[in-house]
Amino acid sequence: MTTLRDGDLAAAFDHASPTYDLMTSASPGYVAHLRRSARRLGLPGGGAGLTVLDLGCGTGASTKALLHAAPLATVIGVDASAGMLARARAKTWPEGVSFVHAPVESMDEVEANGPYDAVFAAYLLRNVADPDAVLRDVQGLLRPGGRLSVHEYTLGRRLSDRLVWKAVVNGFVRPWAWMNKDAALYRHLYRSVMEFDTADAFTDRMRRAGFERVRCLPMPGWQTGITHTFVAERPRNQGAPFHQR
């Protein structure tokens, strides 16, 4: 089985986009957990006057989670899959929400409109070819003191965490993938979780990328030890973001 990357992964998400919301809605806690990670950004004043990037926004579930936590924020969703973005754009959004079709490795339009007060990245970092480079770029998009929240599958060290994830995939994800002819995508997603960082390793990765005040926070319920929120800040004593230098 080959890991999907870049254009191949975007194409696989394009194909899966018509049924993606239905699949995620069947996952217990999916929406509640996204909202929890969005709240953990700790945006003040309902987000009034703040601009937030939603990287890897997909069909907009993470965008809705951000608006639930910060209804007054300006939110820009970014995704490499045209099919997923079409689903997001078809939904009803308040003024101040927009979407950009771009891979996170090449966001010239997004960079030009920074710096940003916060970045939210849900289920993204394990799917990019070079997560270290993306984290460095994200830091460059933030204003000094700007906040990052990463919502991601990062298995703990316990064998039981991996066994629970395998059971979920075998019991639900693989039958769904077979029924909807999306086997390549969901094989990739299964492997991307199994082969990505543990929670401790991803925390270290964020620190190496230059973030400070890095914290790893667990999810409740069946996803304890499987999904985590990682929150961090761009150091306040750094200079201007790279696109303003």
Structure tokens at 24: 């995620």
Q: How confident is the model at residue 3, as a pLDDT?
A: 65
**Other CB atoms within 10 A of residue 171 CB:** 9
| Spatial CA neighbour of 66 closest among 35, 91, 94 | 35
* 180-207 pLDDT tens trace: 777 787 788 888 888 999 999 999 999 9
Strand partners, 77: 54, 99
Q: Is 144 helix (H, G, I), strand (E, B) or coil?
A: strand
Nearest-CA neighbor of 220 among 54, 70, 37? 37
Would strands 227-233 and 142-153 be described as parallel, antiparallel, or unpaired? antiparallel
Residue 48: CATH number of its domain: 3.40.50.150
221 lies in some domain: yes
How far out from the chain centre does Cα 25 lie?
17
> What is the token pair recorded at 7?
């254009």
Containing structural domain, residue 139? 28-155+197-235
Strands (E), the chain: 51-55, 74-79, 97-101, 116-122, 142-153, 212-218, 227-233
Per-residue buried b or exposed e for 107-144, using 16+ beta carbons within 10 Å of the residue's own CB: beebbeebbbbbbbbbbbbbbbeebeebbebbbbbbbe
Per-residue pLDDT at 56: 96
How far is the C-alpha of 232 from the C-alpha of 212, rounded, in Å?
A: 6
Question: Which amino acid is located at 183 in the chain?
Answer: A
pTM of the model: 0.90
Assigned domain for 57 exists:
yes
The reply to whether 168 falls in a domain is no
Question: Is there a domain that residue 17 lies in?
Answer: no
Q: For residue 228, is it within any domain?
A: yes
The residues, ordered by sequence, that sit 6+ positions from 221 with a Cβ below 8 Å of its Cβ are 28, 29
How do the pLDDT tens digits run along the chain, 245 residues long? 456 666 788 998 898 898 889 888 878 889 999 999 999 999 999 999 999 999 999 999 999 999 999 999 999 999 999 999 999 999 999 999 999 999 988 888 888 888 999 999 999 999 999 999 999 999 999 999 999 999 999 987 777 888 888 887 777 777 777 777 777 877 888 888 889 999 999 999 999 999 999 999 999 988 899 999 999 999 998 755 444 33
**Number of H-type helices and E-type strands within the chain:** 10, 7
- Report the pLDDT value the prediction gives residue 80, as an integer from 0 to 100: 95
Q: Which two tokens stand for residue 32?
A: 């509640």
Q: Looking at the domain assignment, is residue 3 inside a domain?
A: no
For the chain, what is the domain count?
A: 1
Domain membership of residue 240 (yes or no) is no
